[in-house]
Structure 1
Amino acid sequence: MLQTLRQNAGSWIIKFLLLAIVVVFIFWGVGSFKSSNEGRVALVNGQTITYDDYNKAYAVQMENLKYQFGDQLDERLLEMLNVKSQVLNELINNKLLAEEALRMNFDVSPQELVDSIRKIPAFQVKGVFNPDRYAMILNSMRRSPGEFEALQKEALLIAKLRSLIADSVHVSEAEALERFQYQDASVDIEYVLFEPLVYKDITPKDEEVKAYFEENKESYTTEPLVMARYFRFSPDEYRSKVSIDDEQVNEYYLEHKESFLDPKTVEARHILISVPRDAEPAVVEAKRLQAEKIMNMAKEGKDFAELAKKHSDDPGKENGGFLGAFRKEQMVQPFSEAAFSLNAGEISAPVQTQFGWHIIKVEKVNEEKQKTVEEAADSIRQTLASNEAETLAYNEAESLYDASFDNDDLKNLGDSKSVKLWETEFFTRQGPGNISEPVKFGTVAFNLENNEISQIETIGSDFFIIQVMDKKPSAIPPFDEVKEKVRAGLIRELQTQKAKTDAEAFVAELKGKTGSEKTDKQEPLFNATGYFKRNQAIPSIGNEKEISDAAFMLTSDKPLCEKALKGAKGYYVIQFKERKIPDMSAFELEKKDMNKNLLREKQMETLNALVENLRKKADISIKEGFN
């Protein structure tokens, strides 16, 4: 039925009927087409998670994974990471947490919501909230202010609940000490590596290669592929069509005058005498006296920059403690209050912050200044031209999208409208290589059926209308196509098996010998790692958790690990050499960080336990294919 409507929606009568249907859905409380059952991914205690919610969250996660894994990110890795379930579970958990926050009578006032949005840097110009920038960014995200504000309110509710959980969790000194002793213990081991690649004389027969393929053919499954055509509307291409006159500049200036107010700034140097946060009062006072002594030297005429280089604990001491120009709100309050009360050339008394004692010298005061319209004109023209070019690009995309209701073949539509149509080769979910955000493009394309046309999608700074031309599902290729790849895989497996067999035989040999025989005959085979801790990479071996865990289980009474351990480079045989207990004097130095890390872990455990309990009691239904 929807396809029939799409094909016939060119007339204003049909468009009016479509609009009427949307209005009825909204007033019935059903939402929109996006929140209809057909567009629903999950239902959580009656709350809908739409395809749109899911697709946007999935695209963000894919961009993160692309950044993390680079070219290694393929269909198999995505399947192993279970990305679809991860994204959906996060959306479900957020619904449950927001619901629980409301149940516990948390609330977000309209003023809290407004304040939180105004503080988001992306919506600011020179540190001040800019309504036009807010509207422009929401438009590029294809979100209405109402949708974004609902999401922000949900995030604030969850933040309040998380804060309550954080405040309810505590770490005792005994817990911190136990963690310190566990983490800071170190061990030194010896090892022999049986590396698969040294076995060069393995040459499997063709029938063995074929048999190996038959046993493991699923592992050679190709990734699904999509081929698409698309229109791209880039605002940059519309800049030449934009003309901004003086009247528009003046009007914008008057409406956004606060954006062109350069706030008062101070240029200063400082000397920091650091004080531990949990320092005794006597230590704090001794540090204050030290700071006072340095202040007196500065006031007596000693070069402040040289004093900073010699005495300051701040990392910026090498440039004489120079901080550059800063606004009042950019520094912690006691520091900024002192700095902004001084005139150029004046030096403060010692000022205490959470970092310690500061001596401040103001070098220059830049008073607040309102830019004139003439001074702001260039940046205003640039802003208005960018906004107008984006509007022109979007309007043309919208015009083509509306026309696609009458003509659902983008090629014919492009020819009739003289608009350039782009076509891709087949690509994976990572998207085609010539797009600024290929993963987002790929996500949109993979959610379309053959010949289906997307909505207007914002990808990077451009607008796209995408139509899928063809799809190739995952498939097991014919043996002949992957024969050499299979052969290489079989050789690697046989090499690995040989390394494992030899390593296990060596363990058995060591177990059958006395201690003196081990020293005389086997010691030259072993390499020493040197000391390492549980959370450190093993020297000359690397980050190998199983080997590290096994090493810390060994003792002088039971020095040999009685099984060969698989690592990235091959199989290891390890034996104990020496253990070092933690230096308890270091505990006082590390206690603060230890407490912080342990507290974070306990907070996360408490939050996860709450989520698990909420999920057990919740009524959750998930669309087939997303479980």
Structure 2
Amino acid sequence: MLEGFRKNSNSIVVKTLLFLLIASFAAWGIGDMLRPATTGSSVATVGGVEISAQEVYRDFQREMARMRQLTGDQAVNDNLSMAIGGSVVDRAVNRTLLAVSANDMDVAISDELVRKSIHETEMFQDNGKFSRPRFEQVMFSNQLNEAQYIELVRDDLSREQIISVLVSGATMPEQVAKDLYKHRQEKRSADVVLIKKTDVGELPAPSDADVRKYYDENIKNFMAPEYRKLTLLHITPGDVAENIDVPLENIEDAFAERQGDFKKPARRTVDQIVFSTEDEAKAAAAKLAAGKEFSALSSDVLSLGDVTKEELPEELREATFALSAGSASAPIKSLLGWHIVRVSAVTQAVNPSFEEVRDQLRNALATEMAGEELFGISNDVEDAMGGGATIEEAAKTAGFDLMVIEAADKSGSNTEGTPIKALFNQATILEEAFKLDMNAEPAMKDDGNGGYFMVRVDGVTQSKARSFETVKEVAKTIVADNQKSNAAKTKAEELLKKVKGGTSLMVAAKEASFEVKSEAGFTRFNAPLPQDVVKALFAAKVGETASGETQEGHVIAVLRDIKSMEGTQDQNQINELRRSMANGVSTDLQGQFVNALRTRYQVKVDRGTMNRLFVQEQQ
């Protein structure tokens, strides 16, 4: 199908750009098309179609690498790791939903459409025309053959066809964009006086009567939550995993199966310059040897980033990975020209031995095996309860200790507001605990994290007002702050009255020893003023006033200038705004469509596999 495509130019600019794209290809991915299918366990199924755990994990590793770049290679905690992994799984599920629906709707993509798409892919072009050598190099670098890639493109086009029909009406009238542009870009300028609470001087301390009055009138702000006394039996995989006997043979088999998960390839941080001729490259190498800085050799130094050997074109691999940190190569010939590469950092490969990861593997296998044992234990406890045993007796028979929690609120905190360790991040347990009646017979429940629990409510303390004595100091601080705020408001009202009476803000403020500040050219969205003041100023005429409260005190503003956008519209910004609004509508439509597909096709996500991939693999 592709034999009719031929390379027609040798532009060094295009070659250089292409080299960067190829080198980054494995790290970025191109719409997930250039990753060969993998086999093994699945992390999810969509309408019976499996989503490979290995494929998802590769995407996850890429996201984690980006996260570490952003955070300076700091450790990523389990919660963030699971959040990133969950996002990766969601994207994979959404892609698969579209593919399954396309198949069910008999969406057909012709060979000509596939050919046209490949032909128009810039990555495979040289001077605007398809280049077979370039295409074949990309295929080789990503371990794909032509037939595989064609099918991947066909699948991607089928998804695009569904989406294109769905969002074909997602347009935005130009007048709507113009009106929104004018609304957003309209500006105001105002003279402003801020009367701070700290400017009102020392005020008498609030009296006990004033504090008590505030407490009585705002009693709802001093309510203690409902607390419950709980007896909890919570059995987690970790409770039984350490006592599970994992045969050495199983650990060795797991090492053989998962060895690749522990390996980390060697990496190099690489910059490179591509020259059109060997003579140019040799001349640059000579300058480099004479002490010239690499960055001074050319204005076209390209950073390839932190790459593995396999992420480089074959011609550069050996020479690049033979370099030490800070050194540069001799000229290297490739399909794209003559290269000089420099390595600025070296990361050695990690290939741990069996003994180095034996304990980690044993713990992972024990945790996996714990699920079955926990299920058996939970059944034994339920059977004991069904036979008339109390939760205390059933727990003792099963060999587990109960936890008695004297007081817990719905957030899992005690009466001091401190989180209770046994209830931390245990939403399912808390929901059950606050749903049950007191002394109701407990039932064994799944905690949503691979464990089981049983909870009994032994006592309920209803929500009630905290006593005045326990919150007196808090209330006193609030009353004192309110007094200062009221004093600032009074001064602001006096100043505002003078301005409305004809005195200029500048004069009135000077007489009261307040500073006038000019706020020029602000919009509705970037004004350094309270929102109610901004709203009033945008509804006011020049010379009119607005006032409002801030955290610091009270502000008075006099509108000085109005700048509308009539006749001064930026058509490029309007067009961009129109596109942005249309894209927003398109995104909403796609989201609604995917949600509808989730109700049509059964989506199953293996939380256990997710936990192993996204948490245990990070340990």
Kept in 2: contact 1:268–1:322 (CA 8 A): yes
Structure 2 equivalent of residue 343 of structure 1: 317
Report the TM-score, using the length of structure 2 for normalisation: 0.53
The amino acid of 1:269's aligned partner reads V
What CA distance in whole angstroms lies between the structure 1 residues aligned with 2:358 and 2:244? 16
Cα shift at 1:312: 7.6
What CA distance in whole angstroms lies between the structure 1 residues aligned with 2:351 and 2:235? 37
1:386 lines up with 2:367 in the alignment: yes
Say which SS state the counterpart of residue 387 (structure 1) adopts.
Answer: helix
The amino acid of 2:542's aligned partner reads K
What CA distance in whole angstroms lies between the structure 1 residues aligned with 2:55 and 2:489? 58
2:307 to 317, 325, 348: 325
What CA distance in whole angstroms lies between the structure 2 residues aligned with 1:345 and 1:222? 70
Structure 1 equivalent of residue 386 of structure 2: 405
Say which SS state the counterpart of residue 555 (structure 2) adopts.
Answer: strand
Structure 2 equivalent of residue 226 of structure 1: 228
What CA distance in whole angstroms lies between the structure 1 residues aligned with 2:346 and 2:550? 60
Pick closer, same or farther for the CA change 1:247–1:537 going to 2, 3 Å: same
**Unaligned stretches of 5+ in structure 1?**
1-107, 128-136, 142-147, 273-287, 329-335, 353-357, 612-627
Cα shift at 1:502: 3.1
Structure 2 equivalent of residue 115 of structure 1: 51
Pick closer, same or farther for the CA change 1:345–1:241 going to 2, 3 Å: same
Say which SS state the counterpart of residue 317 (structure 2) adopts.
Answer: coil
The amino acid of 1:564's aligned partner reads S
Cα shift at 1:431: 0.7
Cα shift at 1:262: 6.2
What CA distance in whole angstroms lies between the structure 2 residues aligned with 1:291 and 1:502? 79
1:525 lines up with 2:525 in the alignment: no
Cα shift at 1:573: 0.8
Cα shift at 1:228: 1.5
Counterparts of 1:604-615 in structure 2, within 5 Å, are none
Q: How many residue pairs align between the two structures?
A: 444
Structure 2 equivalent of residue 88 of structure 1: none
| Percent of pairs with identical residues | 14
Kept in 1: contact 2:211–2:479 (CA 8 A): yes
Cα shift at 1:302: 4.3
Cα shift at 1:169: 2.7
Cα shift at 1:121: 3.7
1:466 lines up with 2:465 in the alignment: no
Say which SS state the counterpart of residue 438 (structure 2) adopts.
Answer: coil
Cα shift at 1:510: 0.9
2:542 to 558, 578, 587: 558
Counterparts of 1:44-443 in structure 2, within 5 Å, are 110=47, 113-115=49-51, 119-121=55-57, 156=97, 168-170=169-171, 183=184, 189-196=190-197, 198=200, 200-201=202-203, 211-252=213-254, 256=257, 267=268, 269-270=270-271, 302=288, 307=294, 321=303, 323-326=305-308, 339=313, 342-345=316-319, 361=341, 380-389=361-370, 391-392=372-373, 395-407=376-388, 409-415=390-396, 417-432=398-413, 433=419, 434-435=421-422, 436-437=424-425, 439=427, 441-443=429-431
Cα shift at 1:362: 8.9
Say which SS state the counterpart of residue 400 (structure 1) adopts.
Answer: helix
Structure 1 equivalent of residue 126 of structure 2: none
What CA distance in whole angstroms lies between the structure 1 residues aligned with 2:551 and 2:98? 44
Structure 2 equivalent of residue 15 of structure 1: none
Kept in 1: contact 2:177–2:577 (CA 8 A): yes
What CA distance in whole angstroms lies between the structure 2 residues aligned with 1:292 and 1:515? 77
The amino acid of 1:222's aligned partner reads A
Pick closer, same or farther for the CA change 1:377–1:221 going to 2, 3 Å: closer
Say which SS state the counterpart of residue 246 (structure 2) adopts.
Answer: coil
Q: Aligned-pair RMSD on alpha carbons?
A: 6.0
What CA distance in whole angstroms lies between the structure 1 residues aligned with 2:537 and 2:221? 33
Kept in 1: contact 2:542–2:560 (CA 8 A): no
The amino acid of 1:247's aligned partner reads E
The amino acid of 1:437's aligned partner reads N
1:500 lines up with 2:501 in the alignment: no
**Unaligned stretches of 5+ in structure 2?**
1-44, 64-77, 83-88, 102-158, 321-330, 414-418, 595-619
Cα shift at 1:420: 1.6
What CA distance in whole angstroms lies between the structure 2 residues aligned with 1:349 and 1:493? 76
Structure 2 equivalent of residue 545 of structure 1: 531
